[in-house]
Structure 1
């Protein structure tokens, strides 16, 4: 698995973002490329921007029991995996804006580094190790870039 804290791996992710075109078509799934970029940005918004509410205690408990290992583990996501409601993007988005936002988030995560994420709390899963943060970010990006053939 790639490491979102290493410059060389982040360069590869950014190259993949830059290989997307506004008319890129998915190999599977229903999202358009602009929706996919906005969808990928949600993961970073939950870390850096205070725009998504923290799930209530009951929902967090369910997420920890039912979804955490799939999300932060090392196994890749399967095609057409169900997504959480806050990750569903409806309507069109500006491709260039979403693309630039994602690149900035990737670079910000790289610059902050592994130590910043060790024990950092996730809105949904509580405290995670830097390895769990890496797994979540890297495999999510890889899944959707593969979905769009880049």
Structure 2
């Protein structure tokens, strides 16, 4: 069974892993530092939660549904260096990491009370609540693994 952000135990596990990352934690792959990753994940969750609008990608319109099935076919982690929407690329190199981490955790906690989601993902398109639950877990897990957490 795949893990879902809508499961309390899974959310708590992710939050515990987030707490192990610090401003000076080094990435195992990719170009982001810990601050950039935490801000990216906060913005990404805000997109999922419907507070941040991100433009639909042309390639996603063509291949999004097929790609989503591939990503969610099993519980394998997302691959390293998975591309993201240009709007979710964080160029700021530094900021208040502890505040950013708190904001990220706060967005994770919001999934506990989320009953409906009206999301059109910029690449995958329309997703069910079940698919969103699995994908939010996979996305968060991906970035935690990126920083060894």
Shorter-chain TM-score range: 0.7 to 0.9
TM-score (norm 1): 0.81
- From the two aligned structures, give the one with the greater helix fraction: 1
Q: Does 1:98 align with 2:96?
A: no
Report if the CA contact (8 A) 2:43-2:52 is conserved: no
Other-structure match for 1:17? 18
Mapped to 1, the partners of 2:127 and 2:23 lie a distance apart of 34
Q: CA deviation at 1:67?
A: 4.4
Gaps of 5+ in 1: none
Q: CA deviation at 1:127?
A: 2.6
Cα distance 1:60–1:146, how it changes in 2: closer, same or farther (>3 A)?
closer
Cα distance 1:142–1:128, how it changes in 2: closer, same or farther (>3 A)?
same
Local SS of the residue matching 2:137 = helix
Other-structure match for 1:87? 88
Local SS of the residue matching 2:22 = coil
Mapped to 2, the partners of 1:43 and 1:80 lie a distance apart of 16
Q: Which moved more, 1:2-11 or 1:47-56?
A: 47-56
Mapped to 2, the partners of 1:90 and 1:116 lie a distance apart of 32
Report if the CA contact (8 A) 2:54-2:85 is conserved: no
Mapped to 1, the partners of 2:136 and 2:22 lie a distance apart of 22
Aligned-residue Cα RMSD (Å) equals 2.3
Other-structure match for 1:109? 111
Q: CA deviation at 1:110?
A: 1.9
Cα distance 1:147–1:4, how it changes in 2: closer, same or farther (>3 A)?
same
TM-score (norm 2): 0.82
Report if the CA contact (8 A) 1:27-1:148 is conserved: yes
Report if the CA contact (8 A) 2:26-2:34 is conserved: yes
Mapped to 1, the partners of 2:50 and 2:132 lie a distance apart of 16
How many correspondences in the alignment? 145
Mapped to 2, the partners of 1:35 and 1:84 lie a distance apart of 14
